[in-house]
Structure 1
């Protein structure tokens, strides 16, 4: 007989719905995003020291880190007359997500407000990443390979965080539909379609120049 939670809702069981799997995926994605943020920060400093030097990720006119790094979108935060590269904030944000993933793997109970704020923070990071990607594709017309890696890792990070929020943290409290979505593994299909859609969009928009 199935174990049930308060209110008669079936308990979410299986290795995919436990903290080990969900937070491990989040940790791996966040670690990749953190490493990429460090690389982008290093390249930003390198370009500041040597403005005329070609970066290693400058493949062609479209796959060009320099074109993206020199745009105003790469430094949208300004304070005290100085501009701060987005990658610096990426280091700070991803360090937090790595820490949260480790806390989850350690099965430390956190307050519900903390889990909710973590999810909203993950959503904000995803929205920011998608905005930067859209600016690269439709405004700057250049793609930074490292930025693409950051976008995909942030996407997987958010998928895992959402999974953990619903199945481990059990938020929102009354969301049988969401828990059924994960219990029946519908998320696998949606996540794959999500990644494929991103790849197709990039190929459709920048494909001719990418493969020229």
Structure 2
């Protein structure tokens, strides 16, 4: 069974995105506990009506599975760090492992996309720590997708493999740019007043 190991840069990217997501999940979890103890608690990242972590934490969407979302992040991003550290140590994983990791990343990007929509158009507020977790997930998803396509674990035509080999940075940059534009246009009046 063919195995693939990422290079040092890819391994570091996996570790750093996992660490960023874990940090965000940890801070949000601590603030959520404080909010449960004291309903009047205002998280430090609640800066104005738009950047209002407290509003996001109090929403129904903040506990999509019946428990606070950041607790899911504590587990998921912890796994990401373990995968990245294994790669740094020289591990090479078989295709089924990479496809399972990609399935987790696909769930993560889907969940993050739903949370972005809910924050922008239902809750009407942003959480800066959530934005850090979103950024980490976007980078992780696109670079893992690029890795498994280039290594042939997902069937893809030659031009797509060549694109990912040469321009792997384009899709995450485009994705982040679209989210940034949605945020900017959603609160254009607030930012320009």
Same fold by TM-score greater than 0.5: yes
Within the alignment, does 1:192 sit opposite 2:173 as a pair? yes
Correspondence for 2:158: 176
Q: Structure 2-normalised TM-score?
A: 0.89
Q: State the partner residue of 1:89.
A: 72
Q: CA–CA distance in 1 between the matches of 2:106 and 2:9? A: 20
* Structure 1 spans left out of the alignment, 5+ residues: 1-16, 79-83
**1:9 aligned residue:** none
The structure having more radius of gyration, on CA atoms, is 1
2:149–2:156 CA contact under 8 A, matched in 1: no
Q: Which deviations, in whole Å up to 9, do the C-alpha atoms of 1:168-206 show, x marking residues without a partner? A: x431256423321123x2323333222222211110112
Change (3 A) 1:26 1:211: farther
Counterpart CA distance in 2 for 1:44 and 1:211 is 31
Q: How many pairs are equivalent?
A: 189
Greater share of helix: 2
Unaligned runs of 5+ in 2: none
Following the alignment from structure 2 to structure 1, what is the Cα–Cα distance between the partners of residues 93 and 169?
A: 27
| Residue 30 in structure 1 maps to residue 57 in structure 2 | no
Does the Cα contact within 8 Å between 1:37 and 1:150 map onto a contact in 2?
Answer: yes
Aligned to 1:148: 131
Q: CA RMSD in A?
A: 1.9
C-alpha separation in 2, matches of 1:23 and 1:210: 37
Contact conserved, 1:68 with 1:74, CA < 8 A, in 2? yes
Moved segments of 4+, more than 4 Å: none
CA spacing shift, 1:63–1:37, aligned 2, 3 Å: same
Match of 1:206 in 2: 187
User: 117, 120, 126: which one pairs with 1:137?
Assistant: 120
